[in-house]
Amino acid sequence: MQEIREECGVFGAFAPQTSHLAPLAYSALCALQHRGQEGCGIALSCGGHFTYHKNTGLVNEVFDASTLALLGKGEVCIGHVRYCTTGENNRINTQPMLINHIKESLAIAHNGNLVNALPLRRELELQGCIFHTSSDTEVILYLIAKHRLESATLEEAIQACMPSLQGAYCLVVMAPNKLVAVRDPFGFRPLCYGKTAQGIDIVASESCALDALGASFTRDIAPGEILVFSPQGIKSMRVPSAARKICSFEYIYFARADSMLEGKSVHLARLRAGAYLAKMHPADADVVVGVPDSGIDAALGYSKESGIPYAVGFIKNRYITRTFIAPEQERIEKLRLKLNVVIPNIRGKRIVLIDDSIVRGNTTRRIVKLLRAVGVKEIHMRVSSPPFINPCYYGTDVDSQEHLIAHQHNLAQITKLLDLDSLAYLPLEGIAFMLEGHQFCAACFGGGYPTPTPTEPTTLKAPTHI
């Protein structure tokens, strides 16, 4: 429920024969909508001819039945839902991005964030590249196009450019008769693939998108893997991979609870986090309340471990988009519309309030105010992630240190600022318990950065369209 934003969700499909892939992409992007709500797009290749449509807005706002019909049939398809951490929110920055290349036309969709986008862009500009967007995805696209001139295949070009890319990137790349899926050597962001009953190969950021299509899950794409789908079959290539560093916040917050990441249930991971919180930070209270949506699983885990009954404390309006992803000026109004307190369950009671995170503290402060206004006696907050003390450079909009409440204030100060009776966070070792030995990135929680950090801002500037 906190004010955190994440980069994107990607989708790809490769069909053994010409098929109606646009409706598949639409359904998959709806399932991935939680990963980005600022823009979306779909691109198809039919016999080498590309068609595409993209715009700002939600999937059901950008696409309707007539738009999907106009996209036509195809053998290859990619799709994207976007929240921008690099590049402004406008139509030109929405994805997929397409280019006509002397070797072959290409389209790309990207989830993640490069830490060296600006120096790479400068280098390409000095070589004559002209950029039309402020997105780091265009940097990746131009690098692939550059290496394609010297490579026999698209996958070899992608393999050649990967050593230049620092940071997080999951890619789906479409050529006239080929789909290529790529995951960075650390595996910061999730990517998996499966197959429909009709034999269509599917790539998606999360397994919930496969479920939405009735597709069977095959496996996660490995860190450093390039997976190629073509008429010749499926081929896997690798670049040297580092220790797996999937973002721990994917399990804590970003991913849908019904997804499986790296073979682990997101729902069960959140239950374990709540149970660990109950062991480490018990509270004398009457009920446990979870903040929808990602706080609920941890609250259930806390309730079961502690023996304190779980109570529904909030009803969520499902027709209001996620507040963490809305523009700043809309957040206060949307929070009021989005959450309503179930007064009989909590009035006059001591509650354990479970949420996934506290970033700047603004949303928590407003939630506590709602609870105090209806007569909650005590609020003991437990957070199913450690304190955010560092910015993230890998596609999570965790702000600079001066805006992070846990970087600026100690626990007692935060408790007072948020008007809480007590406050406790999941300790860093609690993530290891939650993920049962999985390797993960916890740089934003003080766990150390896996890659070099930027020496200058990573935001790419573009002219303002008015």
pLDDT tens digits, one per residue of 309-351: 999 999 988 766 544 445 444 555 566 678 899 999 999 999 9
Helices of type H across 32-128: 59-62, 65-71, 117-126
**79 close to 53: Cβ distance less than 8 angstroms:** no
Please give the pLDDT value at position 455.
72
| pLDDT surpassing 60 at residue 464 | no
Look up residue 433 and give its DSSP letter: H
Percent of the chain with pLDDT over 90: 83
* Residue 250 DSSP one-character state: I
Indicate where the chain has its CATH 3.40.50.2020 domain(s): 265-445
Q: 218: Cβ–Cβ under 8 A, 6 or more apart, which residues?
A: 192, 193, 194, 195
- Residue 412 neighbours by CB distance under 10 Å: 9
Residue-wise pLDDT for 173-220, tens only, equals 999 999 999 999 999 999 999 999 999 999 999 999 999 999 999 999
pLDDT value at position 230? 98
Hey, what are 386's tokens?
């450690």
Domain with CATH 3.60.20.10 in the chain: 8-242
Beta strands in 20-145 (DSSP E): 39-46, 49-56, 74-82, 97-99, 106-114
**Res 76 pLDDT > 80:** yes
Predicted confidence at residue 268, as pLDDT, reads: 97
Residue 293: asked if its preceding bond is cis (omega within 30°), the reply is: yes
Instruction: Judge whether 158 and 235 are in contact, CB under 8 Å.
Output: no
Q: Does position 113 have pLDDT exceeding 90, yes or no?
A: yes
Residues in Cβ contact with 75 at an 8 Å cutoff, skipping those fewer than 6 apart:
14, 15, 17, 18, 19, 21, 45, 46, 47, 177
Half-sphere exposure of 428 (CA within 13 A, CB side): 12
If you average pLDDT over residues 16-36, what whole number do you get?
96
Closest CA to 389 of 418, 428, 356, 350: 428
CATH code of domain 8-242:
3.60.20.10
Question: Is 40 an annotated catalytic residue?
Answer: no
DSSP label at residue 327: -
Closest by CA to 190, choosing from 161, 211, 169, is: 169
CB 277 within 8 A of CB 424: yes
- Enter the tokens of residue 189: 């962001």
Residue 153 has pLDDT above 80, yes or no: yes
Q: Using one digit for the tens of pLDDT, what is the confidence trace for 224-272?
A: 999 999 999 999 999 988 789 999 999 999 999 999 999 999 999 999 9
Q: Please calculate the CA angle 17-69-32 and round it to the nearest 5 degrees.
A: 80
Q: Which fold has domain 265-445?
A: Rossmann fold (3.40.50)
Query: b vs e for 362-393, b when ≥16 Cβ sit within 10 Å of the residue's Cβ?
Result: bbbeebbebbeeeebebbbbbbbbbbbbbbbb
Determine contact, residues 149/124, Cβ cutoff 8 Å: no
Strands 350-355 and 378-383: parallel
* Three-class secondary structure of residue 420 per DSSP: coil
Q: Which of 8, 40, 392, 444 is catalytic?
A: 8
The pTM assigned to this predicted structure is 0.91
